[in-house]
Amino acid sequence: MSLITTSDDLAAACRRLERHSFVTVDTEFLRETTFWPKVCLIQLASDDEAVALDALAEGLDLSPFFELMANERVVKVFHAARQDLEIIWNLAKLIPAPLFDSQVAAMVCGFGDQVSYGELVQSICKVAVDKSSRFTDWSRRPLSEAQIAYALADVTHLRTVYRSLIARLEKSGRTAWLADEMQTLSSPSTYEMHPDNAWERLRNRARKPRDLAVLIEVAAWREREAQSRDVPRSRVLKDDILIEIALAAPKTADGLAQLRSFPRGMERSRAGADLLAAIERGLERDPKTLPKIERERRNGGGGATVELLKVLLRQVSERHGVASKMIATVDDLEAIASDDKANVAALSGWRRELFGAKALELKHGRLALTVESGKVVTLEWQEAGESEEAAE
């Protein structure tokens, strides 16, 4: 059973792993009752071995693991890396580099939107992943051999997946596309949770400047409260209650108590007093300093344009074997329908070459969509005109 519980064994394992060009990485963690993820197990694999680090082992020094994650000579391969990277960032304030996310790479290679690890392994390795320990409590000790075997499977099959995806990317000339996507995952700002930005998760729920001002302050208060107590946001106040507070903006404890969903008795607590202070700060904010409230972009003509852009996006995605979500989101399409120079990813880099330029052509009637042999195809304006003349 390849379970590491001592600092010496971890240091020795990391010395062996750093000799390889890449290592595959995964974590098992709990987050149901905490704000910060609680890492319980870390799995690593090279061509020669696979090991699991018991992150809860008493006295275990994870420094060698962090040094391996920072080693620029070794590619760190994850699947759906964001939560794993958040854990490493919270523990050591570093982002593993160089970085490879097999889920993102699979989207670039045409495996669909957010393909699961099991689906990818089944497709590439022709192996069914055992899911029997998927919902296990990783904080309980001792871990069984079945649990450790399940955890290690998340990094052993990933070695084959990585090699296959790298070969596909190189053959298709799309390695640079993946590098673009890794920039967001590799940025510390992706994992830094600033309380003053917490309102952005709920930004579409505020429609008036006063509501937004109060929402900004009470959301920041909840974020600080959840972080300091290390509990989920909903344990402090649920989203719907937070919105209700922002809309009603009560100024007294009795006003808080009159809100239908507000936790009984909280209005008289220290948290209740702090919440009232946050509401007051929101009411005192200068409306001119508030972020602009975005209205719905959809309207009659714009909505029709968005629907056409969706068809074009699907056609481009299928033709080039790239997940549509990688190329453009619905928000991107709505922005393009409203503004030729919208600041969206779909209008820059490889996405513009693949889709963005065509989207603008379609929007302005210089590109047509038609169906041939059951498939949507595009016609340049001149071709479309010639087709119409022939029909006449």
**DSSP, residue by residue, 31-51:** -TT-SS-EEEEEEEE-SS-EE
Angle 45-50-53 from CA coordinates, rounded to 5°: 95
Q: From the CB of residue 314, how many other CB atoms can be counted at a distance below 10 Å?
A: 13
As a whole number of angstroms, the distance between CA 21 and CA 47 comes to: 9
Three-state secondary structure of 141-165: CCCCHHHHHHHHHHHHHHHHHHHHH
pLDDT at 27: 97
Q: Are 312 and 328 in contact (CB under 8 A)?
A: no
Start-end of H helices in the chain? 7-17, 63-70, 82-92, 102-108, 117-125, 145-172, 175-185, 209-229, 233-236, 239-248, 253-257, 270-284, 300-320, 324-327, 330-338, 349-351, 357-363, 381-391
User: Got the DSSP string for 259-318?
Assistant: STTSPTTGGGSHHHHHHHHHHHHHHHS-GGGSPPPPPP---HHHHHHHHHHHHHHHHHHH
Q: The tokens 């930004």 sit on which residue?
A: 203
- The dihedral sign for the CA sequence 375, 381, 384, 386: negative
Tokens standing for 24? 């595959």
pTM reported for the whole predicted model: 0.85
Say if residue 343 is exposed, middle or buried (CB neighbours under 10 Å; 0-12, 13-18, 19+).
exposed
- What three-state secondary structure class fits 109? coil
pLDDT for 300: 43
Q: DSSP state, 367?
A: E
Contact 347, 336 (CB under 8 A): yes
Residue 130's CB is within 10 A of a number of other CB atoms, namely: 12
**Residue 85 has what pLDDT?**
97
Question: Can you list the domains of the chain with their CATH numbers?
Answer: 3-190 (3.30.420.10), 195-289 (1.10.150.80), 300-391 (1.10.150)
What integer pLDDT is reported at residue 383 of this predicted model?
A: 47
> Which residues are bridge partners to 372 per DSSP?
375
Q: What is the mean pLDDT for each group of 10 consecutive residues in the chain (392 residues)? A: 91 98 97 93 97 97 98 98 96 96 95 92 92 85 93 96 97 90 90 92 86 96 96 96 96 95 94 97 93 58 84 92 92 93 93 94 90 75 47 43
pLDDT number for residue 294? 61
pLDDT computed for residue 298 by the predictor: 45
Three-state secondary-structure class, residue 59: coil
What gap in Å lies between CA 213 and CA 112, rounded to an integer? 40
* pLDDT, position 379: 73
Alpha-carbon span 158 to 179, nearest angstrom: 19
Residue closest to 136 by CA, chosen among 123, 121, 154: 154
